[in-house]
Amino acid sequence: MQLDDLYRRVIMDHYKNPRNKGKFEDGGVTVDLNNPTCGDRISLQLKIEDGIVKDARFSGEGCSISMSSASMMTEAVKGRTYEEALDMANRFSLLMQGESVDFDDYDYEDIEALSGVCKFPARIKCATLAWNALKKGIDEE
């Protein structure tokens, strides 16, 4: 199996079986963002305690890249400190700029499945929507 096929499968798995989709009954930090160019929209909720992202959920509609990225991001940041979550978001931004980025020290490899998105500039905003919501949510907290 080629790497592109594996990455495509990871993306489609997160799209068809999203992790952490839904809303918290008891609130949390909520950030609503949309991508007017393609219609993607996300509502991200974060539960933050003592500088740690205890939990993350999202809802919204969009393309497979947007929704998969949101699923991956919510999985990746749970249990992370503010600094770690922001570092991951910054690394993801670099990945979307075509730079080689290592997520191994976070022990979460699914994100690398989105590395090919940088070849399609129109889709970069789709992939970064959830990560931008994360940055905004941490800033608001």
The enclosing domain of 36 has a CATH number of 3.90.1010.10
> Could you tell me the residue range of the domain that residue 89 belongs to?
3-140
b/e code 46-70 from CB counts within 10 Å (16+ = b):
bbbeeebbebbbbbbebbebbbbbb
| Residue stretches of the chain with pLDDT short of 70 | 1, 3
pLDDT for the residue 84: 96
Q: What is the pLDDT of residue 41?
A: 97
The total domain count for the chain is 1
Give the contacts of 23 (CB within 8 A, at least 6 positions apart). Answer: 43, 45, 57, 59
* Residue type (1 letter), 136: K
The pLDDT of residue 15 is: 96
* pLDDT value of position 136: 96
